Amino acid sequence: MKKKIAVLFLFAIAIAEFLLFLYINYTTYAMVVDLSIFSGIFMFQTIFAFHSLLAGGKLRLYLPNIGLLIVMPVFFWLSLPDLTYDAGANILQQHYQLSSSLKSETIAERTIQGEWVGLAQNNVYIYEDSSEGLYYIVDPNGEDMIRITEKPNTR
């Protein structure tokens, strides 16, 4: 019984870790980080947790997931872009000397799908300056900025 509780506890940690990744990506990075690899790893952890429970709570069957619980936060941290959404807005305001707010109303309007680079998609931030009718695109990985007059297609 104690082994089953240990497996369930480790699975609860995996759920909390994945939800934390989603929360950080949603609130700080405007969903620009591709979480598909983390979703796949979480599904792997789910399958192993249930397999371990069906095998009588054998913790050794769940040992690979313990390693993943330790390694996944490191991989997530390494996958984060250099700029948060708010930092991108601050850089734009300083570079173009803007006084108005540069935020989009919804998360879906804050990013544009970019080009595929290797296995990841390089998504970019988009900002709207409603006072001037201009839009700005910032690459969160390199501070590249573009000013455009038409709203690009968002996700």
Which pLDDT tens digit goes with each residue over 26-76?
999 888 888 888 899 899 888 888 887 787 766 676 778 788 889 999 999
Band (23; pLDDT cuts 50, 70, 90): very high
For the ranges 22-36, 58-72, 87-101, 140-154, the maximum mean pLDDT occurs at: 22-36
**Angle value at C-alpha 26, between 115 and 15, nearest 5 degrees:** 110
- Beta-carbon contacts of residue 98 (< 8 Å; ≥ 6 apart): 92, 129
Cβ atoms within 10 Å of 52's Cβ, excluding its own: 24
Which pLDDT tens digit goes with each residue over 98-132?
877 776 666 667 777 766 555 456 788 888 887 78
Length of the chain: 155
pLDDT at res. 124: 84
